[in-house]
Structure 1
Amino acid sequence: HNVSEPWNVAPSLAESRIPIAMLDDLAAAVSAGALPSAVATFASSLRIERMAETVVDSSERIFELISAIRGYSFMDQAPVQDIDLPQSIENTLAMFRSRTAHVDIRLDFDPELPPVSAYGSELNQVWSALIENALDAMHDHGTLTISTRLTGQTAIVEVRNDGPEIDPAVLSRIFEPFFTTKPIGTALGLGLDTVQRFVNKHSGSVAVDSKARSTCFQVRIPINRLQAY
C-alpha cells in the first residue's frame, strides 16, 4: 500500500493477525501517510478484544474447574451419600484436562445404573488413581475408555487404556503398597494400594487384566452395601 515506513507497521500486523481483506478496506479508507497509525490503532483494538475474549474463556474455565473440584471433593456434603457414578467420574476427569489434550476419551455409561451409597471423596480418589495410571501408561497419548454397567446389585466401573502390556512380574505385585515401576522420587507406590483399600472399604473388589494395547482395571461395588475400616 506504498507505506513509507513499513517496518513500523509490520509488528502490529504480525501481532494482531489482521486479515488481508480488512487491510484492503483500511487502506482504501485512509491516506498512505495515516495508514501506519490506523493499523496500529486497529491492531490495538483487536488485541483488547481478544484479551477480553480470553478473560471470558478463562473465567468460564475457572468456574468449570471450581465446580469440578467442589464435586470431586464433596467438601460440603455428608461423608456417606448416594453417588452418581458417571458424574463422579466426569468430575475426576475434569481434574486431568491439562493431560488429555491428545487423549481420545470414550465414556460408556449405563443409563440404568442407580446411585451407589458410598464415600464420594474416596471413590473420586479411586477414579483419580486409575485415570492417572492409565495416562502414565499411555504417556498422555492414546485412547482412554471408561465404562459403567449394572450386574445384579453390583456397579461395575472399567478404566481401560491402549498402552503397553503390563509385565506379568509387575502385574502380580501391582496392588502392593510402596511398589512402583516409576523412577525413585517420582512416585510413592501408593496409588493402586489406595484404590484397593478404598474399594475394599465399600465391600467391593478391584481386578486388572492386561495384554498388548489393552489394560483394564475393573472395580466392582455393591449398590447398597458399605463396609467401614
Structure 2
Amino acid sequence: MNFFIDLLNTVIQVSIMTYLPYYFLIANKDIDDKDGKKSLVISSISIFVTSVLATNIFKNSNMTSTSITIMSLIIMYIIYMNVYKKALVAYSIAYLLVQIVAILVTSISWPIISNIIYDVELSRLLGIYIPAMILELLVIKSKDSVKVVYDNLTKSKTSLGIVFILVISMDFIASISMMLNGWANVALTNVLILMIVIFIIGISVYMNNMDKKYEEINRLNDLLIDKNNELKKIKHDYGSQISYINGLYVMKQYDRLGGMLKNIINGNAKVSPCIKYITNRDSIISSVVESLDLKDIHVVVDEEFDSSLIDISEYELHKIVSNILSNAITALEGHGLIIIKTYKIFNSVYISIKNNGPKIDPDILESIFETGFTTKTNEDESHGYGLHIVKEIVENNNGKINVSSNEEYTDFKVIFFNQN
C-alpha cells in the first residue's frame, strides 16, 4: 500500500518541480507554449525516471537525494538550454518548497501520529504521505504567489548562485543527518564527504570571484562619483558664463559679448576626452586611447602591470589595442563604457578590453577572428581583417586571444605567456 502512495507522492513532487518552471517561463513569455509543453513532458518523464532509478540503486541511502538533485539540474539545463538560468532558478524554488514540505511533515505531523498509532505503515500514511500530498497540492494551487518570489529573485544577477547553494546545502544537510543517525552506507558516505569538500572549495572560489566583482563595481562607482562632481562643476561654470552673456546682451555690449563667446569656444576645444587613468598615464595603451575619436564614450585605463614590459614590440602592441578598441567604439555607437585592464597571473600577462555594448551573436562569436569576416557593409572588401591581424600578432608572440559576450558586456582578453 505504502509503495503505491510513495509512488503517487513522487509523481506529485516531480509535477511541482517541472510544472512551476514551465508555468513561470510561459507566463513571462520566455518560451512559447508549444515548446513549453514539450519541455514539460520531457522534463517530467526524465526526472521521474531518474528519481525511481536513484531510489532503487542507492536504496534511500545518504546519496539518493543528492544524486537525484544533480541529475535533475542537468536535465533541466539540457531541456531549457536557451533560458537555462531562469529555468534552473524556477526548478530550485520548486525543489526547496518540496523539501520544506518534507521537513514539516517529518518534523511535526509524523512524530505526533506515530505516538498515537503504533502501526508503522498506517502512521506513515497518515503522518507523512497524506499531509505531504495536501501541502504539495497547495503549492501548485499557490503558483502565482510563488511566481512573485521567482520574479523578484530573477532580478538579481546572483539568483542562480544563491538558489544552487541552498539546494545543494539542503541535500548535504539531509545526507549528514542520515550519517549521524547510522543509516548511511560507508562507501557512499566517503563519496559524500568528497563532494562536500569539492562543494566548499567551489563556494570559496565563487565568493572570491564575487569579492573581485564588488571591488571592480566600487572602483567604477568612485569613477562615476568623480565624473558626476566634474559635471556639476562644468554646469556651474557654464551657468555663470550664460548669466554673464545675458548681462552683456541686456546692456547691448556686443563687442564684449563676441569676445566672451570666442573665449568659450576656445575653452571647449581644450576639454579633454572622457578618459580616467587609474594607474599609468604614459603607457602605449594610453597613447592609443588618446589617439582615437571616442565621442561620448568613457574609458577607464587600469594598468596593474606595465604594458611596456610585455615582450612584444610597441608597434605590434599598438596594432592589437587599436584594432580591438576601434571595434569596441563602433559597437558602442558613440555612447558607453570601455574598461582596459592589464594584470599578471604567475608568468602570464593579461590585457582585458571590455565594453558594455550589445551582445555578439553566439553564432558568429567563433568566426570574428577569421579573414574577411565582418558585420559591416563590405562592398569594397576593406573590412574584416583587423581582428584576424590581431590574432596573428598575438599568436606569433606566444599568446592567445579570446572573446566572451553576454547582455552586460563584451570582453576581449589577450594573454601573453612566459613573461618575466
- Quote how far apart the aligned CAs of 1:180 are: 1.0
The size of the alignment, in residue pairs, is 172
Quickly say closer, same or farther: Cα 1:22–1:127, change in 2 above 3 A: same
Residue equivalent to 2:245: 19
For the structure 1 residues 48 and 140, does the alpha-carbon distance in structure 2 shift closer, same or farther, using more than 3 Å as the test? Answer: closer
Pair 1:154–1:85, CA change in 2 (3 A): farther
Separation in 2, partners of 1:180, 1:85: 32
- C-alpha change, 1:197 and 1:113, in structure 2 (3 Å) is closer
In structure 2, what is the equivalent of residue 95 of structure 1?
291
Using the alignment, how far apart are the partners of 2:349 and 2:409 within structure 1? 21
Closer, same or farther: CA 47–137 of 1 in aligned 2, 3 Å: closer
SS in 2 for 1:131: helix
Query: Within the alignment, does 1:42 sit opposite 2:238 as a pair?
Result: no
After superposition, the C-alpha distances for 1:54-108 in whole angstroms (9 at most, x for unaligned) are 69x56x98xxxxxxxxxxxxxxxxxxxxxx9971111111121x2x232122222
Paired residue secondary structure (1:160): strand
* In structure 2, distance between residues paired with 1:204 and 1:142: 29
Contact 1:145 1:161 (8 Å CA) reproduced: yes
Aligned CA distance change for structure 1 residues 108 and 177 (closer, same or farther; 3 Å): same
Are 2:404 and 2:410, in contact at CA under 8 Å, matched by a contact in 1? yes
> Letter of the aligned partner of 2:368 in structure 1?
I
Give 1 or 2: higher helix fraction. Answer: 2
Distance 2:394 2:367 in 1: 17
In 1: Cα distance, 2:267 partner to 2:249 partner: 24
Superposed, 1:110-129 pairs within 5 Å as 110=304, 115-129=309-323
Unaligned 5+ runs, structure 1: 1-15, 28-35, 62-83
From the superposition, tell whether residues 132 and 114 of structure 1 become closer, same or farther in structure 2 (CA, over 3 Å).
closer
Answer yes or no: is 1:142 the counterpart of 2:356. no
Q: What TM-score does the superposition give when structure 1 sets the normalisation length?
A: 0.63
Deviation per CA, 1:12-31, whole angstroms, max 9, x where unpaired?
Answer: xxxx995344567xx5xxxx
In the alignment, does 2:222 pair up with 1:222? no
Task: State whether structure 2 residue 417 is matched by structure 1 residue 191.
Answer: no
Instruction: Identify the residue that residue 213 of structure 1 maps to in structure 2.
Output: 408
Counterpart code for 2:339: T
Q: Distance in 1 between matches of 2:281 and 2:320?
A: 12
SS of the residue corresponding to residue 283 of structure 2 reads helix
Superposed counterparts of 1:102-181, under 5 Å: 102-110=296-304, 115-181=309-375
CA deviation digits over 1:169-214, x for unaligned, max 9? 2112111111111112374200110110110111111011111121
Distance in structure 2 (CA, Å) of the matches to 1:144 and 1:189? 22
The higher relative CO (CA closer than 8 Å, separation ≥ 6) is in 1
Percent identity, aligned pairs only, is 22
TM-score calculated relative to the size of structure 2: 0.36
Decide whether aligned partners of structure 1 residues 23 and 134 sit closer, same or farther in structure 2, where only a CA change above 3 A counts: closer
